[in-house]
């Protein structure tokens, strides 16, 4: 039986108080009591139904609870009939009044009995367990504002209308569209109105393939990469039609979406499929044929309730007088403005701080936004002004010019190249911790949002707009949002420009195909580029520190002051030119499939601290002594690189690098590598002290045992066809996740393998190691020899 009865005790006691204090004075008071109790009983009915859902497997109690629900469903209309009938009883009709009073009295008694039955169940039923997709089940940001309730009810009603296929919610940025839609979803899920609910966030530059894949992932459907776009759409279309009733939410659309191209069946194609959209522009929703509803700003009392919730007890300080209320009023009822300003002032207890905030709200600095957006967005910028230190501000502004659902790993590379983090002697591991702390604080300030993965981040569109405006005004940052004619053709503006961030190369190829004269430029980012950069394109960017492109032609002259170079997923083949960048600290060549060799010129990068060659699937040759020359290298990522490592050792002449070179990197703290031939492992390879690593030995890179995703973890996979020196394996001191497949020459069980070396091991997966045994003692965890072990999977090979 489910325990923790106290979870609903508060609800039950509040309802039960009703049945304990009835005194029947006259028919009017009886009916008023009855009317009040019916309202409370309706609420109780919902709670009882929730209990029924929780106790589906408890058949005996379920039957009794269903009887309670049935009794409630029958008694409520009867009681409401009595309440509605009082208007038809004339005051001088004593007989009718008497009958009505008697019936009301009996109904009150019946209700009291039902409430007592609920109390009996409440002592044994805890709150429902929260299952998957909590963002659609729990909507902690939603407050039941009166100004929102009518819109909420309209949307819920539209979802029930058979002739309505597409419903839309529109309003200005930050008004609360997403929050309201999530509440719609929560209620729809609670009512089990749909067999499946899917929530997809869209951006101002929608990626049809990404939207389609996210919907498919929610349906456990794999879209074959080899299929055409039409083939993928048809496959998703067919799968969606198999779901009898489904609700798909596309949040924050900026332009009309082609549903056929996406593979979403609506209307006559699938009457059970409903589409719920949010947008800032109603015209977008109208073009998609939606039944639309609007959201306006909060009323004054609602805004104050939200402001109080976000600031906490500080608003009750007598010294602040009316300042909190005045600040709240200046937010104009825009939820995101209220939240961000309130969070910024939450810990501010000085009168001067609140006065300064109020002054800034009433007399904001001019921006390029117009009308109501100008007023609302300038208020949100206050939270930026309250950020502590230049680190926070620079990281925040840098986040704003990155793509939606951006990678923290990429952000880190840019931060390092721009020298944003204070302290010249920070190690990379320390810098990562510093950046993680900064991002956490920005999220606490409501300037950044959590994302689908802990390794990514996002930003609200309104906040991004504000940040980009600040960047342009204060730091001369140019993006695609700048007016082409006024900004990109203005030579004086370009000479002051410090940052350029573009999704595509259209602007550059149209106006500055021969090169840009940007003497102050430090950051150049272009995500997608088909533009053929001329050889001297970057010659007018002497101060350039960070360059991120997906294409780098050869020959080309790069600024010698570059500190971060990211050419991920580019078509680059020859990388010898990179050796000229003597100040380079960060080099990322992920997914560069055309790179076949890392030449000797790379050994000149003696300042390099971070090298990412992950998934360079054709990288077979690394010139000897290149790796050992990178004496300051702290992090090396080589997963998915089929390097032909040479057999090392003294007095051995070779052209290829050997694994022994890694042992000479005294600063190395992070390593990811696949080693298919365990015979070339140098002695002492696993004794090197690393803070983070992911190492596969033998065929373990194809091992079907997967570890928990954690970028900071220490993981080793071993699938060996021959024996490995036991002493080498025992040298692993801090491994957290260990996978052993067909490990040989282990005779005395796990004790022999351990030798006090696995004190931090949390996840152990063993496959096909017939001679490796585990002591069968209870309790299973923790084992005496593996005190931190949390998860154990043991699979013996079949003969």
What digits encode the pLDDT tens for the residues 652-676?
A: 556 788 899 999 999 999 999 998 8
Confidence of residue 531 (pLDDT cuts 50, 70, 90): confident
Give the CA diameter of the chain: 119
pLDDT tens for residues 416-463? 999 999 776 789 999 999 999 999 888 877 788 877 678 888 887 778
Please check whether residue 560 is in contact with residue 579, taking contact to mean a CB–CB distance below 8 angstroms: no
Rounded to an integer, what is the distance from CA 57 to the centroid of its chain? 34
CA distance 426 to 576: 29
CA distance 82 to 87: 10
Please check whether residue 435 is in contact with residue 455, taking contact to mean a CB–CB distance below 8 angstroms: no
Q: Which residues contact 284 (CB under 8 A, 6 or more apart)?
A: 170, 253, 254, 255, 256
SS3 state of residue 476: coil
Write the CA distances from 206 to 257, 449, 550, 597, integer angstroms.
9, 19, 20, 37
Rounded to an integer, what is the distance from CA 58 to the centroid of its chain? 37
Q: Is the pLDDT of residue 602 over 90?
A: yes
Inter-helix orientation angle 9-16/27-54, to 10°: 160
Please check whether residue 353 is in contact with residue 344, taking contact to mean a CB–CB distance below 8 angstroms: no
CA distance 551 to 582: 21
CA distance 584 to 606: 8
Query: What does DSSP assign to residue 524?
Result: E
Percent of the chain with pLDDT over 70: 69
pLDDT at residue number 745? 60
pLDDT at residue number 615? 93
Confidence of residue 53 (pLDDT cuts 50, 70, 90): very low
Q: Could you check whether the bond before residue 782 is cis, i.e. omega within 30 degrees of 0?
A: yes
Helices (H) and strands (E) in the chain, counts: 26, 23
CA distance 640 to 591: 9
Q: Which residue has the tokens 């019936």?
A: 103
pLDDT tens for residues 545-584? 999 988 776 678 889 999 999 999 888 888 999 999 999 9
Long-range contacts of 513-521 (CB under 8 A, 24+ apart): 515/539, 515/540, 516/540, 516/541, 517/491, 518/494, 519/495, 519/543, 520/476, 520/495, 520/496, 521/497
Token pair for residue 667?
């600063």
Please check whether residue 389 is in contact with residue 523, taking contact to mean a CB–CB distance below 8 angstroms: no
Mean pLDDT confidence for 57-86: 57
CA distance 761 to 774: 15
Task: Give phi and psi for 693, each to the nearest 5.
Answer: -165, 155
CB environment 674-689: b (16+ within 10 A), e (fewer): bbbebebbbeebbeee
Confidence of residue 135 (pLDDT cuts 50, 70, 90): very low
CA distance 551 to 567: 7
Token pair for residue 453?
């993965």
Phi-psi region of 701 (alpha: psi -120 to 50; beta: other; left: phi over 0): alpha
pLDDT at residue number 588? 96
pLDDT tens for residues 22-36? 434 455 556 666 666
Q: Is the pLDDT of residue 788 over 90?
A: no
Please check whether residue 461 is in contact with residue 252, taking contact to mean a CB–CB distance below 8 angstroms: yes
Q: Which residue(s) pair with 294 in the sheet?
A: 170
Write the CA distances from 749 to 257, 599, 676, 769, 780, integer angstroms.
60, 45, 26, 10, 16
Q: Which residue(s) pair with 737 in the sheet?
A: 715, 763
Does the pTM of the predicted model rise above 0.75?
no
Q: HEC profile for 106-139?
A: HHHHHHHHHHHHHHHHHCCCCCCCCCCCHHHHCC
Work out the mean pLDDT of the chain and round it to a whole number.
Answer: 77
Task: Give phi and psi for 137, each to the nearest 5.
Answer: -95, -45
Percent of the chain with pLDDT over 90: 26
pLDDT at residue number 393? 94
Q: Is the pLDDT of residue 516 over 70?
A: yes
Write the CA distances from 90 to 86, 100, 259, 642, integer angstroms.
8, 12, 61, 94
CA distance 357 to 346: 12
pLDDT at residue number 514? 80
Please check whether residue 512 is in contact with residue 536, taking contact to mean a CB–CB distance below 8 angstroms: no
Phi-psi region of 277 (alpha: psi -120 to 50; beta: other; left: phi over 0): beta
Please check whether residue 595 is in contact with residue 617, taking contact to mean a CB–CB distance below 8 angstroms: no
Please check whether residue 518 is in contact with residue 543, taking contact to mean a CB–CB distance below 8 angstroms: no
Please check whether residue 537 is in contact with residue 556, taking contact to mean a CB–CB distance below 8 angstroms: yes
Q: Is the pLDDT of residue 163 over 70?
A: yes
Mean pLDDT confidence for 491-512: 84
Q: Which helix (H) or strand (E) holds 587?
A: strand 586-588
CA distance 605 to 344: 43
pLDDT at residue number 522? 96
Q: Could you check whether the bond before residue 555 is cis, i.e. omega within 30 degrees of 0?
A: yes
pLDDT tens for residues 221-247? 888 766 788 889 999 999 999 999 999
């Amino acid at each position: 039986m489910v325990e923790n009865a106290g979870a609903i005790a508060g609800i039950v006691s509040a309802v039960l108080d009703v049945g304990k204090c009835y005194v029947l004075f006259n028919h009017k008071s009886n009916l008023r009591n009855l009317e009040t109790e019916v309202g409370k009983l309706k609420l109780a009915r919902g709670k009882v139904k929730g209990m029924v859902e929780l106790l589906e497997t408890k058949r005996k109690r379920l039957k009794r609870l269903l009887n309670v629900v049935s009794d409630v469903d029958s008694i409520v209309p009867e009681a409401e009939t009595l309440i509605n009938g009082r208007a038809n009883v004339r005051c001088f009709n004593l007989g009718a009044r008497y009958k009505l009073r008697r019936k009301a009295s009996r109904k009150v008694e019946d209700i009291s009995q039902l409430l007592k039955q609920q109390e009996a169940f409440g002592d044994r039923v805890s709150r429902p367990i929260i299952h998957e997709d909590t963002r659609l089940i729990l909507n902690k940001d939603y407050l039941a504002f009166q100004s929102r309730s009518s819109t909420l009810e309209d949307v819920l009603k539209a979802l029930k209308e058979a002739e309505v296929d597409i419903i839309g919610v529109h309003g200005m940025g930050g008004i609360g569209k997403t929050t309201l839609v999530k509440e719609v979803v929560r209620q729809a899920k609670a009512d089990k109105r749909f067999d499946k609910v899917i929530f997809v966030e869209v951006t101002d530059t929608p990626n049809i393939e990404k939207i389609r894949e996210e919907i498919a992932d929610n349906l456990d459907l794999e879209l074959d990469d080899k299929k055409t776009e039409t083939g993928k759409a048809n496959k998703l279309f067919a799968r969606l039609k198999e779901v009898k009733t489904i609700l798909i939410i596309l949040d924050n659309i900026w332009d009309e979406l082609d549903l056929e191209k996406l593979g979403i069946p609506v209307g006559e194609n699938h009457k059970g499929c409903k589409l719920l959209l949010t947008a800032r522009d109603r015209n977008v929703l109208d073009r998609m044929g939606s039944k639309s509803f609007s959201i306006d700003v909060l009323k004054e009392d609602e805004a104050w309730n939200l402001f109080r919730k976000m600031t906490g007890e500080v608003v009750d300080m007598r010294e602040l007088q009316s300042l909190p209320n005045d600040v709240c009023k200046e937010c104009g009822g825009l939820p995101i403005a209220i939240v961000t300003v309130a969070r910024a002032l939450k810990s501010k207890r000085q009168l001067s701080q609140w006065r300064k905030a109020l002054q800034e709200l009433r007399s904001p600095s001019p921006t390029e936004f117009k009308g109501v957006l100008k007023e609302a967005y300038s208020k949100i910028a206050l939270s930026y002004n309250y950020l502590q230190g230049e680190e926070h501000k620079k990281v925040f502004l840098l986040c704003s010019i990155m793509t939606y659902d951006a990678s923290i790993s990429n952000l880190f590379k840019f931060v390092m190249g721009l020298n944003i983090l204070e302290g010249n002697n920070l190690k990379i591991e320390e810098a990562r911790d510093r950046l993680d702390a900064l991002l956490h604080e920005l999220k606490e300030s409501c300037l950044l949002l959590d994302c689908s993965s802990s390794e990514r981040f996002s930003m609200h569109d309104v906040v991004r707009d504000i940040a980009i405006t600040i960047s342009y005004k204060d730091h001369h940052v140019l993006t695609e949002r700048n007016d082409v004619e006024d900004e990109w053709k203005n030579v004086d503006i370009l000479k002051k420009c410090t940052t350029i961030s573009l999704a595509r190369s259209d602007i550059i190829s149209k106006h500055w195909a021969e090169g840009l004269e940007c003497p102050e430029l430090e950051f150049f980012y272009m995500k997608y580029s088909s533009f053929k950069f001329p050889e001297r394109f970057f010659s007018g960017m002497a101060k350039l520190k960070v360059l991120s492109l997906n294409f780098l032609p050869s020959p080309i002259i790069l600024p010698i002051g570059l500190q971060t170079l990211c050419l991920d997923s580019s078509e680059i083949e020859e990388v010898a030119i990179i050796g000229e960048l003597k100040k380079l600290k960060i080099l990322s060549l992920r997914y560069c499939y055309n790179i076949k060799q890392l030449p000797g010129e790379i050994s000149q990068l003696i300042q390099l601290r971070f090298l990412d060659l992950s998934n360079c699937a054709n990288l077979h040759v690394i010139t000897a002594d290149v790796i050992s020359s990178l004496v300051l290298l702290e992090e090396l990522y080589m997963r998915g690189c089929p390097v032909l490592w040479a057999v090392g050792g003294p007095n051995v002449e070779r052209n290829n690098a050997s694994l022994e070179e890694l042992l000479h990197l005294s600063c190395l703290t992070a390593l990811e590598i696949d080693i298919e031939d365990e015979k070339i492992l140098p002695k002492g390879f696993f004794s090197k002290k690393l803070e983070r690593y992911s190492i596969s030995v033998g065929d373990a890179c194809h091992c079907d045992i997967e570890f928990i995703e954690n970028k900071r973890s220490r993981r080793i996979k071993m699938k060996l066809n021959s024996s490995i020196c036991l002493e080498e394996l025992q040298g692993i001191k801090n491994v957290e996740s260990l996978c052993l497949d067909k490990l040989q020459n282990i005779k005395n069980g796990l004790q022999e393998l351990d030798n006090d070396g696995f004190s931090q091991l949390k996840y152990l997966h063993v496959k096909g190691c017939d001679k490796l045994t585990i002591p069968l003692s209870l309790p299973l965890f923790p084992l005496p020899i593996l005190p931190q072990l949390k998860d154990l999977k043991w699979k013996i090979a079949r003969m």
